[in-house]
Structure 1
């Protein structure tokens, strides 16, 4: 690598660093300091914690590579470590909302100091390993941008005032619902996983061969109207449709409809407050259990992640993503082929989150990023209306436990042929 090429890379990385870090702050512009402290459930985190943790990541894994670096707040290492056990102890996740100190102003100052230090590093030139860690930190921050949005939605949803984060939703651009059709997928031995060009998380590799049986995937996600038919048909009261753990979950939690739907089944809580349900928009905030039960009710199944990736590999990464600032799934417009593969809702697959053949986690503490969560979780694909566009690719693997539904999670059906 020549010095000129290295300098060009550093300049591009500097601009990307500033842009992504600025977006996190911009997403908090509509929030009060009080909003930014709320932790509405153990799975969520306060907005100010997201801002501090993503900054801690750069400080801990980049700046502290220099033995001469001194943190302005070394005691915060305990507060803003998330799950890196090899780095040291951390504040209990369910108690993040109890951290009234440091305040939002202090965290903003912390971000500015770390950003300045990273900028100084980049201006002097950094080695390929450090550049790679900074890239990982930026992808990590984009994950937290999505979490920041979904965590705020949950926090606002339990406030009796049902406040809005954004302006009222625009009406659907679709004049008629796009009919659901099933498109045959590839059969036989195919390759899946990251090809090695550009950034990818370690769990997307290595690229490997897998066998696809005859199958077809729906051309679009399941809509609100289609899911409402499942609800009205007694889907939540028919045990034969549900996995055993799913049935136990819906009875214990008394689920009777998607997470943010109101009892009237015609309105839902959104980041714009309570809004009428668009019947043609993808249903969202659905757990794996609900997705699987609906698929059984519909006489179909969920796609495997290999089937999904094969179908998405020729589809451009575009759609209703965070960049559109809609913050809500939108109805499909007229089109042919596979629609809404990216954006709107994360799509549950029938695949458990496990390692690919030959998987090797990153060395050191960063090896805790993905590998240790390969237990009891299921893969989702495609991104949502809260996912940054540049963060996605066809090989991207998201994962959550089967009961989770506070994220923008939806359903695309598959079937055997």
Structure 2
């Protein structure tokens, strides 16, 4: 697949996700961190217009003069932008205008890709495509948050449950102590936060091949896991009490039985399915309750070839920090990962919402400890 075909494929995948939405769904933003579908469609388009077409196509005419302000996310180098919490206030521009924007930029990009030869520019196009794939996963999770907070619990798509998969193996991997190389060493694409290959010493450890299931988490809940302060980090205990948490996100107790919202609608919790939508605080408390712990990101990477991963983003016990020799690019691209290396924890693997061919065992995802709207789960170690 050449770069033009790859571009077309990735862009079509975003539109395919949105094909299951009603027009009223496109503009809704329930919380600050969950952006509207319309904004995702526009922002991923803005990336190519701003970083590829404007600097490299002579006399390029932007689709709309206000779109840089409306659809820049967090790139200070790219100019002023609206507040993240206000993304859902934009009833205008219309969804139809946003699709026209995508078509306009796609046409210009295909023309440009026919003549583009500069490796640095083409690498930036590849970054843009991976950026769009990240937003495809965010789009799925944001749509689920929107529909999951609708009192009717509407169906997004009957064949799009995404939380009904089960473990295939219930074994333990034992790793002997040693010095291991960490970081991306291939020839393909990776993010800058995966670079800086370095050696780490890892002590003997064991790690489960299986992820924690709903049934296991039921036991934690039923034995008072959410009411025992001894299990929780101090920040986590404050989070539980401030938000009156008594179960994972999307779980609802109805007439004595637990149900959860899925993208296929409200369903009875499948006890055999892998747990989903928990945050770092919950993962850490569960591990404490089990007398185990979360793996470090280095342990996870060392063991990854022996693990069945890719169904849930897996919380690790590692803070999101720079690898040795990490170097930020100049300008807006340098804002992509580096400036977020504070107050976040690393997740490894991928999830059922991650696009195909967008995962690596060196991929370092990161979120704040309280966030749980992503497809997150728990793998235990000791």
SS for the counterpart of 2:131 is helix
Aligned to 1:287: 279
In the superposition, relative to structure 1, how do residues 80 and 411 fare at CA in structure 2: closer, same or farther (>3 Å)? same
In the superposition, relative to structure 1, how do residues 297 and 149 fare at CA in structure 2: closer, same or farther (>3 Å)? same
Match of 1:91 among 82, 98, 105: 82
Deviates more, 1:360-369 or 1:394-403: 360-369
Q: Return the alpha-carbon distance in structure 2 between the equivalents of residues 302 and 268 of structure 1.
A: 25
Aligned to 1:147: 138
Counterpart check, 1:338 vs 2:307: yes
Which runs of 5 or more structure 2 residues have no equivalent in the other structure? none
Alignment of structure 1 residues 293-312 onto 2, 5 Å: 293-312=285-304
Q: Return the alpha-carbon distance in structure 1 between the equivalents of residues 220 and 370 of structure 2.
A: 19
Match of 1:181 among 171, 174, 181: 171
Aligned to 2:264: 272
Tell me by how many angstroms 1:178 deviates: 5.8
Alignment of structure 1 residues 34-53 onto 2, 5 Å: 34-53=24-43
Q: Return the alpha-carbon distance in structure 2 between the equivalents of residues 72 and 173 of structure 1.
A: 43
In the superposition, relative to structure 1, how do residues 172 and 39 fare at CA in structure 2: closer, same or farther (>3 Å)? closer
Q: Return the alpha-carbon distance in structure 2 between the equivalents of residues 86 and 170 of structure 1.
A: 37
Aligned to 1:413: 380
Q: Deviations over 1:258-279 (max 9, x none)?
A: 0111124532001011012121
Contact 2:164–2:274 (CA<8 Å) still a contact in 1?
no
SS for the counterpart of 2:252 is coil
Contact 2:165–2:274 (CA<8 Å) still a contact in 1?
no
TM-score, with structure 1 as normaliser: 0.88
Tell me by how many angstroms 1:196 deviates: 4.2
Contact 2:183–2:194 (CA<8 Å) still a contact in 1?
yes
In the superposition, relative to structure 1, how do residues 130 and 27 fare at CA in structure 2: closer, same or farther (>3 Å)? same
Deviates more, 1:199-208 or 1:257-266: 257-266
Tell me by how many angstroms 1:213 deviates: 0.8
Aligned to 1:198: 188
Match of 1:373 among 340, 344, 348: 340
TM-score, with structure 2 as normaliser: 0.96
Q: Deviations over 1:194-250 (max 9, x none)?
A: 114100000001111111111011111100000110000100000010000000000
Aligned to 1:55: 45
Deviates more, 1:179-188 or 1:159-168: 179-188
Q: Return the alpha-carbon distance in structure 1 between the equivalents of residues 169 and 134 of structure 2.
A: 32
In the superposition, relative to structure 1, how do residues 205 and 146 fare at CA in structure 2: closer, same or farther (>3 Å)? same
Contact 2:163–2:276 (CA<8 Å) still a contact in 1?
no
Aligned to 1:74: 65
SS for the counterpart of 1:124 is coil
Aligned to 2:20: 30
Tell me by how many angstroms 1:172 deviates: 6.1
In the superposition, relative to structure 1, how do residues 411 and 17 fare at CA in structure 2: closer, same or farther (>3 Å)? same
Q: Return the alpha-carbon distance in structure 1 between the equivalents of residues 81 and 91 of structure 2.
A: 16
Aligned to 2:371: 404
Counterpart check, 1:239 vs 2:239: no
In the superposition, relative to structure 1, how do residues 253 and 120 fare at CA in structure 2: closer, same or farther (>3 Å)? same
SS for the counterpart of 2:215 is helix
In the superposition, relative to structure 1, how do residues 363 and 257 fare at CA in structure 2: closer, same or farther (>3 Å)? same
Counterpart check, 1:64 vs 2:31: no
Deviates more, 1:257-266 or 1:16-25: 257-266
Which runs of 5 or more structure 1 residues have no equivalent in the other structure? 1-10, 315-336
In the superposition, relative to structure 1, how do residues 381 and 68 fare at CA in structure 2: closer, same or farther (>3 Å)? same
Q: Return the alpha-carbon distance in structure 1 between the equivalents of residues 247 and 164 of structure 2.
A: 22
Which aligned segments of 4 or more residues in structure 1 are displaced greater than 2 angstroms? 168-174, 177-182
Alignment of structure 1 residues 243-254 onto 2, 5 Å: 243-254=233-244
Contact 1:350–1:378 (CA<8 Å) still a contact in 2?
yes
